[in-house]
Each structure stands twice: as C-alpha cells, then as structure tokens.
C-alpha cells in the first residue's frame, strides 16, 4: 500500500531538482558577474586607492571619507540634475510618440498598411552602437560640418551655429539621439502590451459608442500599466546610467561647463586615475538612488492596478 505513494513522492522531487538545474546558470552568472562585483564595489568604497603614473597609492582604509568627499567637494548634485534632466527630456517625447504609434499600429479600425516595414525601420536605430551614432552626430553637427553647411547655404542662419559650445543644443542633441535609439523598442513593447488586452473589451466599448479618446484613457492605459511600468523603470535605470552618448558627443568633458556631464561620466573620470575608492562611493550612491526611484515608480504606478483586482 505504501509503495505507490513512495513512488509518487520520488517523482515530484525529481521534477523540482530539474527546476533548480534550469535556473542555476542564471544565478551562477549573476553571482559571478553582478553580485560579487557589487559587493566588492561596496567594499572598495571604504578605501583610498588610486594610481599615479605607474605607482599605486593605497588601499588605505578611510571609512566614509570617500562618501563625505563626494557630497562636499564634488558637484554630484549638478551631475545628478543633468542626468535626470537629460532622461526626462528624452523620455517624455519618447513615451508620447511610442504610445501614439503603438495605438495606431494595433488599431483594428485603422489597419495601417506596411506595418512590418515601419516596425523594422523604427527599431533600426537601436541596433546602431551608441558610440558610433554619437561619433556620427559629432561629425554632422561640428562647426564646419554638413548640417551647418546646409543651414548656412539655405540662408536660415548667417553664420554657423556652434552646437558643441551651446548648453541647450548639446543637451538637445543627446536627447534626440537617445530618443531615436529607443523609441522603436518602446513602441514594440507597448504594442505587445496592447495586443495582450482582450479584444472583446474594445468591441464592447465600441458598441457602447465610446470614442477613440475614451477607449484609450479608460481601457488601454489602465490595462497597459504593467508594461508601462516595465518600460518606465527600465528607461529610468538606463537613463540614470546614461554614459556613452554624452561621453562621445562631448569628448568626455560634458562641456560646456559640465552641463552635460552625467553621473556615470563623473564616475568614469575617477576611473582615469584608477580611483576605485571614489568611484566605488559614487557607484554605491547611484545604486541606492536607482533602487529607491525604481521602488517608488513601481509602487505608485501599480497601486491602482493591484487594488482593482486585475492581478491575483
């Protein structure tokens, strides 16, 4: 009598073990490449360690001295502001355009032709290496470059616009580049989200006589929340870690006057002297800020979603 039960028990355990095997690779790679470096960064931030020429200074234990330096001597507030500003100015147009395109492409009443072509084209900028893209813009918008030649010849301006020396233009170019690189990705994610909404809801709304606007705000947006939150948080994390585009465009200086220097560019400056102490301190701060913001974003956006009982 007990035998069949024992056999069943063994079978269940076997399946569980296989589950662990399948998720093990991810956890091993995560531990080695993400968790251990994270812990060692935390550890390094309590030491003074850098390199001058070929000689190494430290590691000397200095406690929270590095963190104090970061808050009092460096202009980290300015860099944080730059980073947030550059992200917001890029994200708002991006989400607006992506939502619009996503709705247009998935709208059964509009049925746009050549969707496959458009989807491929808008996704393509994402495939370009950010550094190559920035180099291209750097050359295009330089003082004697093609864009200036065109607008001077067209008579739009009397002398070349010095894009690289203007705070507004440098930031605008960075935002434009990020927008072009990511709006395709965002559109496709949002499209997937919209297509996951039950079609019967849309039909019911149309039968009830709801216009496009009402459908969008009352049905699409609320049910799109999980995907929207995903896009928002990943964009936020990516935005806070923005590095390659401003680095290449401003040649690492964040000029003019460091107005386009982001947090990671500032971190990179410390790595020039292998200053793992200060770099570690900045990294830890960015980690906590990103974590906090992500948590806030998640809580705020998902609050309504959870309460409505749409998920269990």
Partner 1 sequence: MRKILVALLALTVATGAVGLFAAPKFSDGGKVLTIYVWNDEFQTRFKDYFEKAGLVPKDVTVNWVVTPNQDNAYQNKLDEALLNQDKASPNDKIDIFLVEADYALKYVNTDASLDVMKDVGLTKADLSQQFQYTKDIMTDKNGVLKGVSWQGCPAGFIYRRSIAKEVLGTDDPAKVQAQIDSWEKFDAVAAKLKAKGYFAVSGYDDDFRVFTDNATVPWVDKNGKIQIDQNINKWIDQTKEYTDKGYNNKASLWSAESSAGAGPNGKVFGYFGPGWFIDFCLAGWSKADPKGPDALGNGTYGDWAFAKGPQGFSWGGTWLVAAAGTDNISLVKSIFKKMTVDQSTLTAIAKDKGDFTNNIAVINNLANDKKFGNKFLGGQNYYGLLVDSAKKISRKNITGYDQGCTEALMAAFKDYFDGKVTKDQAWGNFYTAILEKYPNLKK
**Binding residues vs partner 1 (CB under 8 A):** 50-55, 57, 74-75, 139, 142-145, 162, 165, 167, 251-253, 255-258, 269-270, 272-273, 275, 278
38 or 62, CB closer to partner 1? 62
162 or 218, CB closer to partner 1? 162
Q: CB neighbours of 223 closer than 8 A, spacing ≥ 6?
A: 197, 201, 310
Token digits for 45? 């931030």
**Are 289 and 240 in contact, with CB atoms under 8 Å apart?**
yes
**Are 163 and 170 in contact, with CB atoms under 8 Å apart?**
yes
137 or 179, CB closer to partner 1? 137
219 or 264, CB closer to partner 1? 264
101 or 263, CB closer to partner 1? 263
**Shortest spacing between CB 18 and partner 1, in angstroms:** 43
122 or 267, CB closer to partner 1? 267
**Shortest spacing between CB 54 and partner 1, in angstroms:** 5
**Shortest spacing between CB 166 and partner 1, in angstroms:** 8
**Shortest spacing between CB 272 and partner 1, in angstroms:** 6
143 or 198, CB closer to partner 1? 143
Size (the chain), residues: 312
**Shortest spacing between CB 42 and partner 1, in angstroms:** 20
**Shortest spacing between CB 144 and partner 1, in angstroms:** 5
**Shortest spacing between CB 145 and partner 1, in angstroms:** 8
What is the DSSP code string of the chain? -HHHHHHHHHHHHHHHHHHHHHHHHHHHHHIIIIIHHHHHHHHHTTEEEEEETTEEEEEEE-TTHHHHHHHHTS-HHHHHHHHHHHHHHHHHHHHHHHHHHHHHHH-TTT--TTHHHHHHHHHGGGGS-HHHHHHHHHHHTSTTSHHHHHHHHTTS-SS---GGG-HHHHHHHHHHHHHHHHHHHHHHHHHHHHHTS-HHHHHHHHHTT--HHHHIIIIIHHHTHHHHHHHHHHHHHHHHT--HHHHHHTTTS--STTTT--HHHHHHHHHTTT-HHHHHHHHHHHHHHHHHHHHHHHHHHHHHHHHTTS--
238 or 256, CB closer to partner 1? 256
Neighbours of 187 (CB within 10 A): 25
**Shortest spacing between CB 271 and partner 1, in angstroms:** 10
């Amino acid at each position: 009598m007990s035998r069949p039960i024992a056999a069943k028990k063994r079978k269940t355990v076997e399946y569980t073990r296989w589950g662990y095997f399948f998720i093990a690779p991810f956890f091993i790679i995560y531990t080695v490449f993400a968790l251990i470096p994270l812990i060692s960064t935390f550890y390094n931030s309590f030491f003074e360690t850098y390199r001058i020429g070929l000689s190494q200074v430290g590691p000397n234990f200095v406690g929270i001295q590095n963190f104090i330096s970061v808050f009092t001597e460096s202009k980290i507030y300015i860099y944080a502001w730059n980073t947030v500003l550059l992200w917001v100015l890029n994200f708002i147009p991006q989400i607006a355009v992506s939502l619009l395109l996503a709705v247009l492409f998935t709208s059964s009443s509009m049925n746009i032709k050549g969707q496959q072509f458009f989807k491929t084209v808008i996704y393509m900028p994402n495939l370009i290496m950010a550094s190559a893209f920035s180099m291209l813009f750097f050359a295009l918008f330089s003082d004697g470059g093609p864009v200036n030649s065109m607008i001077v010849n067209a008579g739009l301006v009397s002398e070349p616009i010095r894009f690289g020396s203007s705070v507004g233009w440098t930031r605008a170019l960075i935002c434009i580049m990020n927008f072009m690189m990511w709006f395709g990705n965002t559109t496709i994610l949002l499209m997937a989200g919209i297509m996951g909404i039950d079609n019967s809801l849309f039909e019911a709304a149309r039968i009830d006589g709801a216009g496009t606007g009402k459908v969008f705000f009352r049905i699409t947006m609320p049910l799109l929340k999980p995907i929207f939150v995903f896009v928002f948080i990943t964009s936020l994390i990516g935005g806070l870690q923005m590095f390659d585009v401003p680095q290449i465009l401003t040649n690492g200086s964040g000029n003019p006057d460091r107005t386009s220097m982001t947090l990671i560019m500032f971190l990179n400056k410390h790595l020039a002297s292998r200053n793992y102490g200060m770099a570690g301190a900045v990294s830890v701060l960015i980690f906590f800020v990103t974590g906090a913001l992500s948590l806030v974003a998640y809580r705020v956006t998902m609050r309504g979603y959870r309460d409505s009982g749409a998920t269990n």
